[in-house]
Amino acid sequence: MRIATIITAAGRGTRAGDGPPKQWRMLGDRRVLDRTIAAFVPFGPVVAVLHPDDMALLPARAGLAVCPGGASRAASVAAGLEALAGDPPDIVLIHDGARPLVTSALIARVIEGAAAHGAAAPALAVTDALWRGGGQVEGAVDRSGLWRAQTPQGFRFDAILAAHRAHAGDAADDVAVARAAGIAVAIVPGEDDNLKITGPGDFARAGRILGERIGESRMDIRTGNGFDVHRFGPGDHVMLCGVRVPHGAALAGHSDADVGMHALTDAIYGALAEGDIGRHFPPSDLQWKAAASAIFLGHAVARVQARGFTITSADVTLICEEPKIAPHADAMAAELARTLGIEDSCVNVKGTTSERLGFTGRGEGIAALATVTLVAP
């Protein structure tokens, strides 16, 4: 059974107070939307639906696609569904980007409910007394049978796609769209901590919940290192950390010989205890001849996400006499950050020489060292 997730994050969140839209604000050491996406990546591909002005804030990467949203929530969800229609999943989950504390247990419950019933959504029974009134109480409301709706809401993909295509106007959520199309939706137990960040006070509450979770669990923090070497051969440029750098020679290798990306890829595989590039992309396999090294690094990043980790920092050192690294270091760091799917500020690239000693000192090639840190909350 193939699962995909649509995360709605195209709103402006004006009720959250001054500052950027709530999905782009920090919650702990990560943005709200980054935390939300990380919760769903282990279950399958994710489509983040963003405001057109925000597309550059979340580059697409392995397991994550982005698309522009519409003028309403329903239009944004419809855009996400159409983005998946070319290769449709069996079950699609639709989740609010401003619910960053959703747990894997809740996601699994919704998937199970959608698979069994065709559609399922989490909710919490209303337990407080309900009143009707304006400035004073005018009467009580019977709370029996009332529920507080949450997301993710899960549906068989073909059914909810047809429902959205037939729906006109906006809707409170996708359960409303489904029910308008005659789709029955099962209720599964929600979670109190699965709050939707709406007002300024919700950030404080979410921070307290996050702190409690970290305090209750043992964080899995891993560090990996990688080392690679390529000799010079005929050519007029070298590929270093995804950047084409003019030079009087090229690096020789089975792929594009990007020594920096290779070292970083091996560092990630090392942190995951999953071997090295040679295990996943054997040099004997001709399909990888002259391949872009970003393919290898992208695969390693996908393995990080599948294992439930987040890359928090990466550091690459390029060792050579020529070409000079400093003029290109920022561009290299930005390109690595794009492939890793993390902020530029979390990636560092630097160059050093070996003081004319050894093969790098003689100008025979380039070596690279890389260190990466992974964290699973």
Q: Per residue in 320-348, pLDDT tens?
A: 999 999 999 999 999 999 999 899 999 99
Q: Is residue 91 very low, low, confident or very high in pLDDT (cuts 50, 70, 90)?
A: very high
The answer on pLDDT for 217 being more than 60 is: no
Are 240 and 108 contained in the same domain? no
Per-residue confidence (pLDDT) for residue 70, from 0 to 100? 92
**Could you tell me how far CA 297 lies from the centroid of its own chain?**
15
Q: What is the pLDDT of residues 239-268, one digit of tens each?
A: 999 999 999 999 998 788 999 999 999 999
CATH of residue 357's domain is 3.30.1330.50
d(CA 334, CA 291): 21
3-state secondary structure 134-191: CCCEEEEECCCCCEEECCCEEEEHHHHHHHHHHCCCCCCCHHHHHHHCCCCCEEEECC
How far is residue 7's CA from residue 279's CA, in Å, rounded to a whole number? 34
Closest by CA position to 264, among listed 350, 376, 369, 343: 369
Q: What is the pLDDT of residue 29?
A: 84
Domain-ending residue, one of 187, 216, 245: 216
Structural domain span for residue 273? 220-376
Residues 155, 296, single domain; the answer is: no
Number of domains within the chain = 2
Retrieve residue 24's tokens.
């782009």
Q: Is 251 left (phi over 0), alpha (psi -120 to 50) or beta?
A: beta
Mean residue pLDDT of the chain comes to 92
Residues of the chain with pLDDT > 70: what percent?
A: 96
Last residue of a domain, one of 164, 196, 216: 216
Sorting pLDDT into bands at 50, 70 and 90, what band is 67?
very high
Helix axes 157-166, 73-84, angle to 10 degrees: 130
Looking at the structure, do residues 155 and 282 belong to the same domain, yes or no?
A: no
pLDDT at 135: 86
Mean pLDDT for 17-33 is 86
Report residue 218's pLDDT band, with 50, 70 and 90 as the boundaries: low
> Rounded distance, CA 70 to CA 73, Å?
7
Q: Nearest-CA neighbor of 315 among 266, 373, 370, 262?
A: 370
Total Cβ atoms within 10 A of residue 28: 14
Residues 180 and 297 in one domain: no
Looking at residue 308, what is its pLDDT?
Answer: 87
pLDDT of residue 288: 76
pLDDT of residue 377: 65
Q: Classify residue 328 as exposed, middle or buried by CB count within 10 Å of its CB (0-12, 13-18, 19+).
A: buried
Residues 199 and 290 in one domain: no
Do 244 and 181 share a structural domain? no
Its pTM stands at 0.59
With beta carbons less than 8 A apart as the criterion, state whether 150 and 194 touch: yes
Return the CATH number at 208: 3.90.550.10
175 CB-contact burial (10 Å; exposed 0-12 / middle 13-18 / buried 19+): buried
Whether residues 239 and 91 fall in one domain: no
The model's pLDDT over 284-315, given as tens digits with 9 standing for 90+, comes to 777 777 788 999 999 999 999 888 899 999 99
- Segment 97-124 shows an average pLDDT of 96
pLDDT value at position 61?
Answer: 87
Co-location of 206 and 245 in the same domain? no
9/146 same-domain check: yes
Co-location of 203 and 229 in the same domain:
no
Residues 94 and 204 in one domain: yes
367 — phi, psi (to 5°)?
A: -115, 160
Instruction: Single out the residue in 162, 181, 216 at which a domain terminates.
Output: 216
Residue 272 and residue 205 in one domain:
no
Q: How far is CA 99 from CA 171, 186, 200, 298, 310, in A?
A: 18, 21, 14, 27, 18
